[in-house]
Structure 1
């Protein structure tokens, strides 16, 4: 897994050259599938009428996300109410649950700027999402990659 991460990092950095329309389509469709149950339950309602900017600093990538109805919508830019930024490894550690989210934010490895109440709500929402709802193979891959990055 470490080898995959080592050789895959240049591909991640090439992601900034993918046209935004392709990024948007991929992210929206993936989010709809991965978060179908939480979206149906209204878990993302805290984003209704608000914009979250996710900024992956070391990759030069950023997306603005909001919730419209039971869907997450992605935009290239706009007025974000809150920004969460960090390097890709920190986001992977967060997604794989290899690091406690509070630790990542307290040590400023992930940073919340803007409406901190909204940012903390998003952090708590993501922390509360049950990884068991992910396809098992995907969850194993995310966990393995997180473990490889953590060491």
Structure 2
């Protein structure tokens, strides 16, 4: 009888759900100021040239929220003096919402925002003019000009089973 029990296959954890659980847990445990500092550094490095060229002018005194719906992550971003800032607040003038996989593919230029929007996999809520300005800016950026570390980071994140 014990030999039969040993042959019963044990369920293997779904890697996607394990990674999602880890991300959700760390998101709620890490203090905001640490996340803020890391995100601001990464965003300002990634968008250094567009910021220097004042292409984020429309985000001055405006708040853009980005929500990764399947991971429960919300980030509110604004721009001040040609620098992106991450704000500790839940309200935003516009929200861009989508699942992690779709947002990663969008960042890696594998999918365009219009396709995701019309398939209802990318939502823009609130001030749609602000949301569309962000979408148009992202469409106009030459992603080959992003720092190598940013491109490598996006490629690494894409490999995660999120």
TM bracket (short chain):
0.7 to 0.9
Aligned to 2:82: 70
CA RMSD of aligned residues (A): 2.3
TM-score when normalising by structure 1: 0.84
Deviation of 1:41 after TM superposition, in Å, equals: 0.4
Q: Show CA shifts across 1:45-93 (max 9, x none).
A: 1101111011111111111111101101111214311011111111101
Which consecutive segments of 4 or more residues in structure 1 shift more than 3 A? Answer: 4-11, 143-149
Shift of 1:138: 3.9
- Structure 1 distance, partners of 2:152, 2:37, is 24
Alignment gaps of 5+ in structure 1: none
Which residue does 1:12 correspond to in 2? 23
Tell me the matched-pair count: 146
1:87 aligns with 2:102: no
Gaps of 5+ in 2: 1-14
Q: Is the helix fraction higher in 1 or 2?
A: 1
In structure 2, relative to structure 1, the CA distance for the partners of 1:87 and 1:15 (3 Å cut) is farther
